[in-house]
Amino acid sequence: MKTELPSQAVEVDANQQQLPTSVKGAGIGLRSLHYQYIITHKPQVNWFEVISDNYFGDGGLPLYHLEKIRQDYPINLHGVGMSLGSTDPLNQDYLTRLKKLAARIEPDWVSDHLSWISINGHYLNDLIPLVYTEEVMDNVASRILQVQEFLDRPILIENPSPYITFTDSTMTEWEFITKLVHKTDCYLLLDINNVYVNAINSGFDPLTYLDNIPATRVKEIHLAGYEEKENYLLDTHGYPVHPPVWQLYEEALIKFGAVPTLIEWDTDIPSFEVLMAEANKAEQFLEKVS
């Protein structure tokens, strides 16, 4: 029988929207370059996270390696294709494949971005930012509620790295996210690098951002490196975490506690030992607040 998405937003029963908390400490974004190293050496890593969209096939080497690594490590799913901010219909095939993968991998949580990638059935190659208005919020909230109902689990939404702001916005990003969480009972994946990059590019205090999001809803943190351009910072995930991002991370842990933290590195991917060094550094910060 074909599984249908809910036709409209559903009311959330908070008692049924509990998020598992078995994953702790610092984890690493799992990329294909390191499959064999991990399978052979079984490094001491608390957990991994994968781009869920890369494992939607019914077989093949990526899924084979993922399931083999899952035997030894917790793995969470992080997507790029929900297109939560789009006005297109939700992609039922995408969500069905995601639900099937989640049943197979049994992640503690599933996450995606506060952005959109599709318009009139055409998909873009980047995560497009939102205008922060009540109308947009109602649309995104409805879609999150439908996704959570279909997946039968709460999801995490990640704060974006937009590079632009819209004059039509009627609220800040942190105000939008806070209201969205209250409307949908979802959780937050707080990307500290994105907060810092946006703060520098847009001219706000990153601590103001941290002070104004709901602390109890922050369930995961991302750390990554940025590239310094002539007039702005670019979130490339291609460098070690920069010192000011570590400093902001330390402030975040003071506010939110020892939130499970992921090291992301997606371009010019280094040896696994380099990623381990970054994860170990995050672990040192986490131990201070544990």
**CA max distance for the chain:** 55
Burial class (CB in 10 A: 0-12, 13-18, 19+), 63: middle
φ/ψ region of 55 (left if φ > 0, alpha if ψ in -120 to 50, else beta) reads: alpha
* pTM, two decimal places: 0.92
Please give the Cα distance from 138 to 85 (Å, whole number).
Answer: 10
pLDDT number for residue 7: 43
- Domains delineated in the chain: 21-289 (3.20.20.150)
pLDDT number for residue 132: 97
pLDDT of 16 higher than 70: no
pLDDT tens digits for range 127-139: 788 999 999 999 9
When mean pLDDT is compared across 55-59, 219-223, 247-251, the lowest value belongs to: 55-59
CA atoms within 13 A on the CB side of 238: 8
Among all chains, which residue has been given the structure tokens 């970054």? 278
pLDDT of 8 higher than 60: no
Nearest to 75 by CA among 52, 42, 41, 100: 52
Please give the Cα distance from 240 to 238 (Å, whole number).
Answer: 7
pLDDT tens digits for range 60-110: 999 999 999 999 999 999 999 999 999 999 999 999 999 999 999 999 999
pLDDT number for residue 248: 99
When mean pLDDT is compared across 155-159, 232-236, 258-262, the lowest value belongs to: 232-236
| Residues written for the chain | 290
